[in-house]
A and B are shown apart, each in its own frame.
Chain A
Amino acid sequence: MTTTTTTSSAADWRGVASENQDDLSETVTVLLRERSRRLLGDLLTPHRKAIALLTGIIIVSNLAGLAIPYLVKVGIDAGIPPMLKGTGPGTLLTVVGVILAAAVTQALTRQAFLQLSGRIGQNILLELRRRVFDHFQRLSLSFHEKYTSGRVISRLTSDIDAIAELLQSGFDGLVTAVLTMFGTAALLLVLDVHLGLVALIPLPLLLLFTRWFRRQSAIVYRRTRETVALVIVHFVESMTGIRAVQAFRREPRNQEIFKQLNDDYRGANASSMHLIAVFMPGIKLIGNVTVAGVLVYGGWLALHGEVTVGVLAAFLLYLRQFYEPMQEISQFYNTLQSAGAALEKLSGVLEEEPAVPEPREPEALPKARGKVKFEGVRFAYVEERPILPGLDLTIPAGQSVALVGSTGAGKTTLAKLISRFYDPTAGRVLLDGVDLRDLDEPTLRKAVVMVTQENFLFSGTVADNVRFGRPGASEREVREAAKAIGAHEFISALPDGYDTEVGKRGGRMSAGQRQLVAFARAFLADPAVLILDEATSSLDVPSERLVQRALRTILADRTALIIAHRLSTVEIADRVLVMERGEIVEDGSPDRLIAASGRFANLHQAWLDSLS
């Protein structure tokens, strides 16, 4: 099981456990921040060289940018007096020339910077998307069942958006702003140490203020990420189930819930905006007070001839330039915190381990024959309630086994164990003598395929959906598969035949048609072990008959496990297992069990009675 099962303990912060916890202790917060920082470092590492280059470029660019006001001062202080004295505009022209050169340098480096940083940002984004998506696909079903698709979607859309926002706008602003600040501070000190130190007095205050903001916003932005995830979860679920929503007049209640979630999200956003509403003007206030102070003190110094007018003018210019970027930085901080919260969630997902892990040293299984063996298999979703208390079962290669029993007897669990959606709590499941846990995914999935009652169709054409069973299959092979299963006729009758778009999740097809497509898909996959979990329930009798006829040939040379309520499907099996409470209570050929007077015989009689 994943760590998601225990969310109550405050110390539990690993994986996605910290999601939806309101009060995180200081230590947990630090651990979470470290975790996101590690991920960030990991993402940045491949771009080390580019980032170094970027830093070089931006320093040049900023030096050029900073030089311009300085040059203006030089122009006024050194260029104009000679002109007034009539010794010619030589100095001034030189200064103007240098200004133009600086402007051109700045433009060129800036262009390079924007392009390079944009490329790095987009690459990181792509890598992050790929990584998170791939990881979600690796995680086991048990994870997905708890985490829900809405949250998967939220992580991969809204959270990534928050990071994209940072990479697109923030990075540029931050580097420029920080460099401008440092450069300006240095210049102030160079211009006049005395006045410079006075101008920098409020710096510690600034740092303290920023620290306060950082702490507050970390909390606020975590809430934003969580509330938006809930909005997305509800949105996705209502849109997925819109048919039931409309048929049962669920709209008003849904609207109420959505409004509530939406309001929570608004509340979280409002907190963050209020926080900035305090932070930004706070910075401005510190800056303005300093300007006033420098004005008086600098004016006094100038009055006494301790600084030149030019220096004072430059000082006022630079001070503004010193505080202006602080606005930029706080804006950046805002996106940074938002992205930080998103990164925290994403790093949590990436930290989740699949409950059904890939083997370190996979065993080879070049050609699976399909012998399945359960050895003392125990399985429980919840520890106290084992579904399978201890199962021993051997299915020889090529045998077709029908599983019969009431709901909750453990039939589907058995099937899920063979297809390794779950691992047994104790004991082992073997395919051709190899523990399933020692097979890597491609080998296992090539050997074992399960058709469920779910029949999910992906958007695309009918052919695409059949080909999902074996992506490399040719047009002809797709048709052959459909023909073998008896789906060719209805597919050919569709407006564009095999190239008909199935609509969202196969919406334009009936349940039976979708089931046929799913069958064709499984047939094309050509596994050694085929599991059919109530896979024919939506078919009408003639289609079912066709499928059954096809199954006789398809199952001839492969192992099959058939779970069905309709005993017509069971009849084609070589062997019937009747399950009750996770145990096999009857085992034998259909004929023998019908002849006996056990549970299966009763079921069979009831089925015969129902056929009229």
Chain B
Amino acid sequence: MKPYLRPYVLRLVFIWLAAIIGIGASIALPLVGKEVVDGPVLRGDSGALLPLGLIALGVGVLEAFLIFFRRWTQTGPVLGLETQIRDDLYAHLQRLPMGFHGDWQSGQLLSRATTDLSTIRRFLGFGMLFLVMNILQLTTVTVLLLNMYWPLGLLVAASAVPIVWVSLRFEKKYIRISRQVQDQQGDLATVVEESAIGIRTIKAFGRRHHVFDQFDDTARKVYGTSMDKVRLSARFFTFLEVIPNFTLALVLLLGALAVGGGSLTLGTLVAFTTLMLQLVWPVASLGYILAMAQEAMTSADRVMEVMDTVPAIEGGTGSIERPRGHLRFEGVEFRFPGADQPVLRDVWLEVRPGETVAIVGATGSGKTTMTSLVPRLIDPTAGRVTIDGHDVRELSLPALREVVATAFEEPTLFSMSVRENLTLGRHDATEEELDDAIRTAQAMFVYDLPWGLDTRIGEQGMSLSGGQRQRLALARAVLSKPRILVLDDTLSALDVETEALVEEALRHVLREATGIVVAHRASTVLLADKVALLRDGTITHVGRHHDLLDEVPEYRELLAQDADFDPSEGALR
């Protein structure tokens, strides 16, 4: 937290000063009242009345002004802190690799970026100052009471003992419960998020009630824990209100005795009780503020959990001056954390500059994993991937990802204009380059959209067909003019005619770049100069399509479309 507060130190000092003087003013006001009672009224001195009234007025105006100053000034630091942390959290999350995002429910991340940060803001903007001011006010008032008449003052001071003791016990329990509530709220956010993003699937199966039951379960858990919290704080808050009142009764009793004994004036007793009544609110609100403090601390913990996660994939410092696109996989292994079986093992593959290699393998054989290693969306658990002889881990991430562009099978589109979606990897693309890329990907349909390239596509482009989305993703990858172009089964949702056109255009693109093409179909494989067969997580054969078709039964099995169809017929073009 400290670095976030540094820019505001001076302002914070002023805020605290204003707060402290404000307390002084609020304490001074009843004292003026005591003066009036003890002075003019008892002595019958009407002359002193007006000056005392003016003092009261002055103190009152000062107090109001100080509150204004404090509240107005604290807006900057408090919101600045919240906004900065949220910015940093977002930046950090963007830096964290796919592995992290796969493990964390995004609802949990969202609840940290919103709910938790608001909790912290509320505490900083309101609770923290009140907590300290309350404690200050309590001590000051107690000291004043001690000064006024120490035996009674001592009694008041002693009443703090049970308060502190119970507060400490409350704190422990409350921390546990509020953490539980916050985590459950994150779970709830996750259910909400899945239900919103998966709405089509839910509708297609008519599972509204099923999903609702899930939500209801989670919401009821939140309810249950929140009720525990309510019960706990109800007991605590009540306790805090009882103590000052009991003390007050005792003070009155003993004070009356003291007045009777002559050791205390009536005016002092009036002032004493008046001052003491000022203790009731601060003590009672202490419960609420302490609860707030606990929640803010829990929230800070939850935020720090994410912030303290060191990105498992950090860029190096190197860059390649003039990349040629010589790609090598050297004994690469990859396994998910905690998995016994590696997804990839001992993968060796060389792709020379300008060459295109097709990767062929059964569903789940690790093809996508292999392509994700090149732009370092994930890192190998053993071995290395090199470009032009540099380990990809030595390169800075922006430099690396400028060299490599991927068109994913499941295209991720954002709810922004077609143009922005396409220029994701290159903001400076010219209209011509844009048009070239669109034509290469056969995505000319974008010109027919209501506002052409400036049409905002709906969330994840779901209003477009699968084929249209894939073509946009392809255009995006082509547009960034990478040295290494990765096509992860990018043409699967295209119809045959369009596919043929796209392939024709891609041949030109791939002549310029090093290519990796994940393919399920012979037509796509033909884009490549050679084929690597991926089986059980390792490359078993590398060769030309026709040779593999002739020599390797597994390969034939994977690519021969129809058992009755003799692939050699169409293969020789």
Contact = CB atoms under 8 A, between A and B. Distances in A.
Contacts of A285: 60-61, 64-65
Contacts of A138: 208
A416 to B, nearest CB: 10
Contact of A452 (B200, B238, B401): B200
Interface stretch (B140-148, B163-171, B243-251, B385-393): B243-251
A82 B397 CA distance: 88
A118 B230 contact: yes
Given A118-B230, A407-B498, A541-B560, A280 B67 contact: yes
B37 A312 contact: yes
A611 B409 contact: no
B110 A469 contact: no
A92 B253 contact: yes
Given A239-B101, A276-B71, A542-B362, A454 B46 contact: no
A426 to B, nearest CB: 22
**Overall SS of chain A's interface:** helix
Interface in A531-563: 534, 537-543, 545
A608 B64 contact: no
Contacts of B199: 137, 141, 144, 149
B424 A248 contact: yes
A350 interface: no
A246 to B, nearest CB: 6
A122 B226 CA distance: 7
Contacts of A50: none
Given A241-B414, A288-B61, A539-B520, A107 B561 contact: no
A255 B200 contact: no
B570 A490 contact: no
Contact of B86 (A89, A242, A262): A262
A331 to B, nearest CB: 8
A302 to B, nearest CB: 5
A169 interface: yes
Contacts of A102: 245
Contact of A295 (B36, B72, B269): B36
A104 B249 CA distance: 12
Given A89-B256, A542-B557, A611-B522, A237 B60 contact: no
A435 B367 CA distance: 46
Interface stretch (B1-9, B131-139, B317-325, B456-464): B456-464
Contact of A442 (B206, B220, B466): B206
A137 B211 contact: yes
Interface residues of A, number: 177
B520 A541 contact: yes
Interface string B70-88: 0110111011101100110
B159 to A, nearest CB: 13
A69 B37 CA distance: 17
Given A153-B110, A253-B427, A495-B339, A99 B252 contact: yes
Contacts of B101: 239, 242, 504, 507
Contacts of B29: 288, 291, 320
B299 interface: no
Contacts of A266: 79-80, 82-83
Interface in A227-256: 228, 231-233, 235-251, 253-255
B526 to A, nearest CB: 7
Interface stretch (A189-197, A366-374, A477-485, A511-519): A511-519
B237 interface: yes
Given A273-B71, A490-B363, A238 B458 contact: no
Contact of B197 (A69, A149, A412): A149
B83 A247 contact: no
Contacts of A406: 495, 497-498
A138 B480 CA distance: 42
A452 B567 CA distance: 30
Nearest to A109: B238
B53 interface: yes
A454 B201 contact: yes
Interface in A446-498: 446, 449-456, 458-459, 468-469, 471, 490, 495
B231 A277 contact: no
B158 interface: no
A537 B470 CA distance: 12
B301 interface: no
Contact of A152 (B192, B210, B468): B192
B95 interface: yes
Given A303-B49, A565-B496, A284 B83 contact: no
Interface string B88-122: 00110111011001111111011101110010010
Given A288-B63, A291-B29, A248 B363 contact: no
Contacts of B481: none
A438 interface: no
A333 B523 CA distance: 68
A397 interface: no
B424 A231 contact: no
A414 to B, nearest CB: 13
Contacts of A258: 87, 90
B401 to A, nearest CB: 5
Contacts of B234: 111, 114-115, 118
Interface stretch (B273-281, B348-356, B433-441, B505-513): B273-281
A259 B87 contact: yes
Residue among B44, B269, B412 with most chain A CB within 10 A? B412
A44 interface: no
A146 to B, nearest CB: 7
Nearest to A571: B562
B238 A114 contact: yes
A102 to B, nearest CB: 8
Interface in B368-419: 368, 375, 377, 397-398, 401-402, 404-406, 408-415
Contact of A251 (B54, B74, B95, B361): B95
A92 B114 contact: no
Nearest to A454: B200
Contacts of B274: 313, 316-317
Contacts of B233: 114, 118
A542 B360 CA distance: 12
Nearest to B406: A247
B194 A459 contact: yes
Contact of A107 (B115, B242, B277, B467): B242
Contact of B115 (A158, A317, A495): A158
A454 B210 CA distance: 20
A326 interface: no
B204 A449 contact: yes
B569 interface: yes
A610 interface: yes
Interface in A266-308: 266, 269-270, 273-274, 276-278, 280-282, 284-285, 287-289, 291-293, 295-296, 299-300, 302-303
A84 B266 CA distance: 11
A106 B398 contact: no
Contacts of B190: 459
A68 interface: yes
A603 interface: yes
Interface stretch (A12-20, A27-35, A123-131, A585-593): A123-131
Contacts of A254: 90, 94
A99 B253 CA distance: 11
A445 B203 CA distance: 8
Interface stretch (A51-59, A73-81, A201-209): A73-81
Given A76-B256, A248-B425, A504-B106, 20 more contacts: A111-B234, A114-B237, A118-B226, A121-B230, A129-B215, A141-B199, A153-B193, A244-B414, A249-B397, A255-B94, A293-B53, A303-B41, A309-B270, A441-B206, A510-B363, A521-B205, A538-B409, A539-B363, A541-B560, A610-B570
12 contacts: A106-B245, A107-B238, A133-B212, A133-B219, A136-B196, A241-B413, A242-B98, A281-B71, A287-B60, A456-B197, A511-B368, A610-B522
| Closest 8 pairs (CB-CB, A-B) | A445-B206, A288-B60, A118-B230, A512-B363, A296-B53, A277-B71, A612-B570, A114-B234
